[in-house]
């Protein structure tokens, strides 16, 4: 199977498995999505979805958020980890949204990435999920699966993003990045990986990886 056929198999399989695609982080508008994505760094989406209702009950917009102290924000978001950095980022970006963007989340990568604690991946998620702009945010699941599927060399997330954008049609990026995340969680996790359940890797995956996994399983 050549690369083009492998890419098409991935697209077709994911579409069949996930005809409707839930967004992992609960939110109601671009601002609450931005905060949720920022909190998700090195934290599970499940944990974030437990914490954001507590934070948003007090402040679900930048004007109310800046009325809170960084310390108050930090106490609420502590279970998400990295709370000193994240609380400063949330307070700081809320101030900038009020000062420079009339309290609205800007609709450009450049303006988003200029906000405190907002990197390229966070900006990509917001542009994709809040504004419908084609983007391909690469998280650990996508990085792992693009390598397993022999569609990227796995060197770094920046390279994986370039490869994904080159291989997949632009109009599918927003759906595909979410479909791959769900697939990674359900069928191709980092731990407890069962190749029999992982139809995509089993069909198009990197041969050396599959052989290595089969050897490990046979030794048990």
Question: What amino acid positions are annotated as catalytic residues?
Answer: 121, 139
Cα(54)–Cα(65) distance, integer angstroms: 13
User: Which backbone phi and psi does 200 adopt, to 5 degrees?
Assistant: -70, -50
Residues 6+ away with beta carbon under 8 Å from 138: 121, 146, 157, 160, 161, 164, 177
Candidates 140, 182, 136; CA nearest to 41 is 140
- DSSP code for 68: S
Q: What angle do CA 137, 210, 149 make, to 5 degrees?
A: 25
Distance in angstroms (rounded) separating the CA atoms of residues 135 and 174: 6
Q: Are 161 and 172 in contact (CB under 8 A)?
A: no
How many Å apart are CA 26 and CA 43, to the nearest integer? 14
CA distance 10 to 168: 10
Cα 16 from chain centroid (whole Å): 21
Closest CA to 47 of 105, 86, 15: 86
């Amino acid at each position: 199977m050549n690369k083009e056929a492998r890419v098409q198999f991935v697209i077709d399989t994911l579409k069949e498995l996930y005809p409707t695609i839930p967004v992992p982080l609960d939110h109601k508008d671009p601002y609450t999505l931005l905060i949720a994505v920022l909190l998700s760094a090195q934290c599970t989406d499940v944990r974030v979805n437990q914490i954001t209702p507590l934070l948003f009950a007090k402040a679900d917009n930048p004007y109310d958020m800046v009325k809170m102290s960084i310390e108050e924000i930090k106490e609420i978001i502590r279970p998400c980890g990295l709370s000193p950095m994240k609380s400063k980022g949330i307070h700081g970006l809320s101030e900038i949204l009020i000062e420079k963007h009339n309290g609205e989340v800007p609709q450009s990568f450049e303006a988003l990435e200029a906000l405190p604690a907002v990197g390229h991946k966070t900006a990509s998620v917001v542009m994709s999920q809040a504004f419908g702009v084609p983007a391909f945010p690469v998280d650990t699941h996508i990085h792992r699966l693009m390598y397993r599927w022999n569609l990227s060399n796995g060197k770094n997330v920046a390279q994986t993003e370039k490869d994904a954008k080159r291989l997949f049609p632009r109009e599918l990026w927003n759906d595909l990045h979410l479909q791959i995340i769900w697939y990674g969680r359900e069928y191709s996790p980092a731990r407890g990986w069962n190749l029999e359940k992982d139809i995509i890797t089993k069909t198009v995956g990197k041969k050396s990886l599959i052989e290595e996994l089969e050897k490990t399983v046979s030794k048990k």
